[in-house]
Amino acid sequence: MTNTQTLEKPQPVKRGMLDNVLEQFNSAADKIDLNPNVRKILSITNTEIIIHFPVRMDNGNVEIFTGYRVQHNNALGPYKGGLRYHPTVDIDAARALAMWMTWKTSLAGLPYGGAKGGIQIDPSKYSKGELERITRRFTYALGENIGPEHDIPAPDVNTNDQTMAWIADTYMSTKSTSERSKNQHVVTGKPVGSGGLEGRDRATGYGVFLTIKFWAEKNNESLKGKTFIVQGFGNVGYWASHFLEKEGAKMVGVQDAYGSLQNKEGITVEDLFNYGKANNGSIVGFPEADALDGKEFFGLDCDICIPAALGNQITKENAHSIKATLIAEGANGPTDVEGEKILLERGITIIPDIMCNSGGVIGSYFEWLQNRNGELWQMDEILEKLEKKLRSTFKKVSAYSEEKEIDMRTAAFAIAIERIEKAYVLRGIFP
């Protein structure tokens, strides 16, 4: 009898974001000869929460959702990090993103640690009322695992100021009436009328723009006439594009979850933004640009590439095709380790995510302080403070990179890790 069974060639396991962040961490840790005990602590997460919770839908049926909150490290202060609503949310993604938050807050010199989480969900399939109930139920289920001096969530992919308002209201409702106002800063990224910060909506995108501007200044270059492409035209991608255009740069390509566009003569940012608002958030069909095969997007002719969507977008498969001389990481973990090696070998500069998109968490810190102290800050004051903080970080990373002759990501990680290491050395480890 003939055996007709054929053995399939095993497929290589695709690297996840957790693999990338651990490799980035260990590479930087080797460079600074990190204390081995501190390395052990920082290689793992402190707390991992998985919650399954029921919510009644508009049609009366009950659905079960899975939510996550991973708290990586709090040596420098309360856990801080976003909540995302996306089908790709799982425990490994939350672990990776929480670790990146630890390095990001440390690098920015903030009194925070790192956390991340979210719900495994496609929010486009649910009504606003359903999303509100899902959010409130998730908040209630998290209970004391979040708190204004313990773990402070913020918006992330597919969440916004409205989401944060629901979380704050639910959390505050669980407290006694005399304690409720003291708990308003349990989340940041709230609406301005509900304890939010003026300009928080643009803080991340503005930060991306600023780091690009600092890079141009350092290299005695002008942004006027520079061309750029943006992957992701949500909050971060839009505001980064908005400020770059004001500086004289030209958007020649853009991609969102629905499609890709190009126009060598330039795409007007505001026109595209207004079109997307009227088109259910999609850029598809925009009349002032041509449709493009998504696989060709990163290969577009441009000076600057801004990945501002999800992780693992630039890989060994497309890194060779990139024509930009600068990658500004608006998203968390958009470049995997293998893709990065190719880019660096080709002489392409990468402004790493933990610095490039840290404007958001710096803005969150300002909001937290504002709520904590019962203050109200003005927009110009906030943007000025943000620029000052980011400029200082950029200078530190650039100087460290040049002194040690290492890339900017490794330099940024090294600075962040050294700050945490110092905290452990000075404090000791209990008991």
191 phi/psi in degrees, rounded to 5: -60, 150
What lies within 8 Å, CB to CB, of 199 at 6+ separation is 206, 363, 379, 382, 383, 386
What lies within 8 Å, CB to CB, of 194 at 6+ separation is 165, 168
Flag whether 74 is marked binding: no
Q: Is 108 helix (H, G, I), strand (E, B) or coil?
A: coil
- Is residue 116 annotated as part of the catalytic site, yes or no? yes
Pairwise CA distance, residues 309 & 235, whole Å: 10
Q: Is 155 helix (H, G, I), strand (E, B) or coil?
A: strand
Flag whether 323 is marked binding: no
Active-site residue, from 14, 40, 116, 224:
116
Amino acid code (one letter) for 408: M
**For residue 45, what are its two tokens?**
């997460």
Q: Are 108 and 133 in contact (CB under 8 A)?
A: no
Report how far apart, in Å, the C-alpha atoms of 126 and of each of 16, 69, 114, 284 are.
28, 22, 29, 22
Q: Are 86 and 71 in contact (CB under 8 A)?
A: no
Flag whether 14 is marked binding: no
Flag whether 190 is marked binding: no
Flag whether 31 is marked binding: no
> Which residues make up each annotated binding site for substrate?
80, 104, 364
Binding-site residues, please? 80, 104, 204, 235, 364
Residues involved in catalysis: 116
